[in-house]
Amino acid sequence: MSTEVSSVTDLAGDIAGTYRRTESSGRSVDPAVADADLAAVLRDGYVILTDLLTPRELAEIRAEVGPLLDHRGRNDFEGHTTQRIYSVLNKTRSCDRIAAHPRVLAILDRLLMPNYLLSMLQVINILPGETPQMLHTDDGFYPIPRPRAALSAATIWAIDEFTTTNGATEIIPGSHEWGSELPENDSAARTPVLMPAGSCVFFLGTLWHGGGANTSETPRLALTAQYCEPWLRTQENFNLSTAREVAREVDEDILRMLGFSIHPPFVGQVDGMHPKRLL
Ligand SMILES: O=C(O)CCC(=O)C(=O)O
């Protein structure tokens, strides 16, 4: 008996034999909580999730990333008075919890297609004296006109408390629904995201935002984890940068989001097989 397939999308189920699609740990979150988070995100463009990291986890992140903060930004966007660390997963395990926090994954599970990808994981330390970062969106580099659904989502995690003076991320609430209009950089609508250490702001890739000025006397340590649809190119090229030993160490959520997964029917294959066979 033969089965007629009229287009490749007819094959879009999981046709993998050995390595089936794996469940996200977002499933462990109360569906009512995740649904409410998503509703806020779709309405306002963002939601603030408080107290997701323990003091011990925060201390471990500070201890591990501190010694890596040995240089400053190379341009206005990175910030000449800001320190950034890229390729974080190759340098420390302390930030894995941030890359794959179940509360965040539960929103992503509802927002993006299965096997969405980690696009970026970056430490951002805004030092005293830094000026406001230019407002931008995190999926504006995908050349698909707005208004449209977000192609990505981002989190920014407060490792230090975000205050009115230390460079808290600033957002323009509701701007995820804008079309082609651009905000003035000094827009009065810039709204600081004030939150205690261990919290994060989750926002759509279409939301206008930027780092704030740090007029305080202390640095503002943060991490951003960004995610995109599984059929898009990621900002950090994890396919090339992820050491094989790291892929063996991280948990299933991170492994899947690093691209050891298939966007059905066969996007992401290696030599015709599931990429997990590399491990
Ligand atoms: O550090 C922040 O608060 C925001 C940074 C940001 O949006 C970026 O660099 O893309």
Confidence of residue 3 (pLDDT cuts 50, 70, 90): very low
Q: Measured in angstroms, how far is the CA atom of residue 245 from the centroid of ligand 1?
A: 29
Strand duo 152-158 + 170-171: pairing: unpaired
Do strands 170-171 and 191-192 pair parallel, antiparallel, or not at all (unpaired)? antiparallel
Report the DSSP pairing between strands 170-171 and 209-210: antiparallel
User: Across residues 203-219, what is the average pLDDT?
Assistant: 98
Is the CB of 101 inside a 6 Å radius of any atom of ligand 1? no
The span from the CA of 115 to the CA of 16, in Å, is: 14
**Res. 207: pLDDT tops 50:** yes
Q: Which residues are bridge partners to 82 per DSSP?
A: 126
Q: Which residue CA neighbors atom 7 of ligand 1 most closely?
A: 210
Stretch 130-149: mean pLDDT: 97
* Contact indicator for 89, 234 with CB cutoff of 8 Å: no
- Closest residue by Cα to atom 2, ligand 1, is 211
Residue 209 alpha carbon to ligand 1 centre in Å: 8
Protein residue closest via CA to atom 8 of ligand 1: 210
User: Is the CB of residue 124 below 6 angstroms from any atom belonging to ligand 1?
Assistant: yes
If you count them, how many residues does the chain have?
A: 279
Spacing, Cα 175 to ligand 1 middle (Å): 16
Q: Tally Cβ neighbours within 10 Å of residue 206.
A: 22
Q: How far is the CA of 157 from the centre of ligand 1 (A)?
A: 10
- What is the model's pLDDT at position 2? 46
Percent of the chain topping pLDDT 70: 93
Asked if residue 213 has its Cβ within 6 Å of ligand 1, the reply is no
Cβ–Cβ under 8 Å, residues 211 and 125 = no
How high is the pLDDT of residue 16? Answer: 62
How much distance in Å is there from the Cα of 155 to the middle of ligand 1?
10
Environment class of 30 (CB within 10 Å of its CB; exposed 0-12, middle 13-18, buried 19+): exposed
pTM for this one? 0.94
Report the residue among 46, 82, 125, 169 best suited for mutation to probe ligand 1: largest number of ligand atoms under 8 A from its CB.
169
Shortest-distance atom of ligand 1 to CA 124: 1
Helices (H) and strands (E) in the chain, counts: 7, 9
Structure tokens at 215: 């007029």
Residue 87 CB neighbour total at 10 angstroms: 15
**pLDDT value at position 116?**
97
Strands 152-158 and 200-204: antiparallel
pLDDT in the model for residue 22: 83
* Contacts for 133 with CB less than 8 Å, ≥ 6 apart: 76, 77, 79, 82, 210, 211, 212
For ligand 1, whether the C-beta of 82 sits within 6 Å is: no
pLDDT tens digit sequence for 90-135:
999 999 999 999 999 999 999 999 999 999 999 999 999 999 999 9
Q: What is the pLDDT of residues 63-72, one digit of tens each?
A: 999 999 988 9
**Per-residue pLDDT at 6:** 52
Q: Do the beta carbons of residue 182 and residue 221 sit within 8 Å?
A: no
Ligand 1 centroid to 210 CA: how many Å? 5
Question: What is the H or E stretch that residue 222 is in?
Answer: strand 220-228
Per-residue pLDDT for 5 more than 70? Answer: no
**Sheet containing 209-210: which strands, arranged edge to edge?**
191-192, 170-171, 209-210
* pLDDT score of 76: 87
Q: What is the dihedral of CA 157, 251, 14, 18, to 10 degrees?
A: 170
Which residue shows structure tokens 């919290």?
A: 199
Q: For residues 229-255, give the mean pLDDT.
A: 96
Nearest residue CA, atom 9 of ligand 1?
Answer: 78
